[in-house]
Structure 1
Amino acid sequence: MPIRVASRRRTAASLAAAFPGAEFVDVTSRTAEPWVRLSPFYPHGGIPVPYDAGVTSESVEGIWQALKVFQDVDVDPARLGITAMKGLKRTVRRYGPVRGHRTGLHGDRLLPYESARRRIYLPAYRWVLEHRVADLVERIRDKSDVVLLDYTTNGDVADPTSPLSHAALIQRYAEGRWPREADAETA
């Protein structure tokens, strides 16, 4: 049976009705061990930062937030060292419109949103799936009927209308359908 993805915000009754007999695995930062380790906020440490040879981050979200560039605020290397799973986000409410994601802490290019997803987020999260939580991915593959719960369910890297669901990425990785990381755009 395929791995499925649903919103963590749904009620238990709604989930049970939609997926009778399924096992539900919450993969958000608000769940317990061991599944919390699948969250992009989890501080695994040693995660390579794309475009920055030798630079690592505690979390995938730390990389994403560190390389984000706003109208008046550039990269924030301090995000790479955060281990608390809180205080990682850098928002437009505080810093203004996002201009893009820098190709490394000292890179000279800004990647637009989709390119940044493909060239920064996907490689970083895939590295975690392969090097830090391969055991959990195998446990998910071994389940006969499983639904991964996340706050968002968008598994389309090219869809900017909602945040990308890491549960959907886990699903695609476990099923051998990882999204294309590189794209034609050179930004």
Structure 2
Amino acid sequence: MPIEVASKRRKVTSSDAVVIDVTSRGPDPWVRFSPFYPHGNIPVPFSPGVVSSSVEGVWQALKVFDDTDVDPSKLSVTSMKGLKRTTRRFGPVRGHRAGLHGDHLLDYRTARHSIYLPTYRWVLSNHLQDQVTQLSDLARSTRVVLLDYTTNGDPDDLSKPLSHAALIAAHCSNG
């Protein structure tokens, strides 16, 4: 059965499904799927030899604003807190730098495809093999619903944040 994705903001009750919260507030071991989870030693795209504690650390570290460039300190955050760099604080986002010392910025779509997706897939393949196997096995015998704050599974739909739960579901069905 395909793994489904549902919004954590809506009450999901189902007697015929296993409902799993994969957000940063989910229970162990499922919280490990959160992009905020500090797995450590995650390669930073376009930055040979540089690693991050979390996927979100990579995304936030490489974000560039009108008056603020990259923030390498986000790569070492292990508390799952204090990672976000917002437009409210730093102004409009100009793009994501192609590496900590890159000479150009990537637009939002390109950054999703060149930074976020490969980094999250790397974590699924290198840190979460056991949990991916558990979910895949579970989905063979029962309906599985993953909870996330957003349900957008299309990396090219830039109107909404990308759902990491949808990436998990796709990864489980492809692997």
Alignment of 1:111-122 (within 5 A): 111-122=106-117
Q: Which amino acid aligns with 1:101?
A: H
**1:3 matched residue in structure 2:** 3
- Measure, in 2, the Cα distance between the counterparts of 1:158 and 1:73: 26
For 1:153, the equivalent position in structure 2 comes to 151
Give the distance between the partners of 2:98 and 2:145, measured in 1 at CA.
35
Deviation, structure 1 residue 32 = 1.5
Partner of 1:101: 96
Instruction: Output the CA distance in 2 between the equivalents of 1:130 and 1:2.
Output: 19
Aligned residues: 172
Deviation at 1:20, TM superposition (A): 4.4
TM-score by length of 1: 0.90
- Aligned counterparts of 1:4 and 1:20: Cα–Cα separation in 2: 15
Unaligned runs of 5+ in 2: none
Asked if residue 176 in structure 1 is aligned to residue 170 in structure 2, the reply is no
- Counting only pairs closer than 5 Å after superposition, residues 133-148 of structure 1 correspond to structure 2 as 133-143=128-138, 144-148=142-146
Under a length normalisation based on structure 2, what TM-score does the superposition of the two structures give? 0.96
Please state if 1:59 is matched with 2:57.
no
Distance 1:2 1:32 in 2: 22
CA deviation string 1:56-113 (max 9, x = no partner)? 0000000000000001100000000000000000000000000000000000110000
Aligned mates of 1:110, 1:21 — CA distance in 2: 46
Q: Structure 1, unaligned stretches of length 5 or more? A: 178-187
Measured against aligned partners, the alpha-carbon deviations of 1:15-71 in whole angstroms (never above 9, x if no partner) come to 22xx54100010000012100100000000000000001100000000000000001
Alignment RMSD (CA, Å): 1.0
Q: What is the percent sequence identity of the aligned residues?
A: 63
Counterpart CA distance in 2 for 1:20 and 1:164 is 28
Distance 1:137 1:125 in 2: 13
Secondary structure of the residue that 1:148 maps to in structure 2? strand
What corresponds to 1:50 in structure 2? 45
How far apart are the structure 1 equivalents of 2:108 and 2:171? Answer: 21
2:27 and 2:20 map into 1 onto residues whose CA distance is 10
Residue number in structure 2 paired with 1:183: none
Shift of 1:131: 0.4
> What is the deviation of 1:145?
1.2
1:83 and 2:81 correspond = no
Structure 1 residue aligned with 2:27: 32
Q: Which amino acid is 1:25 matched to?
A: I
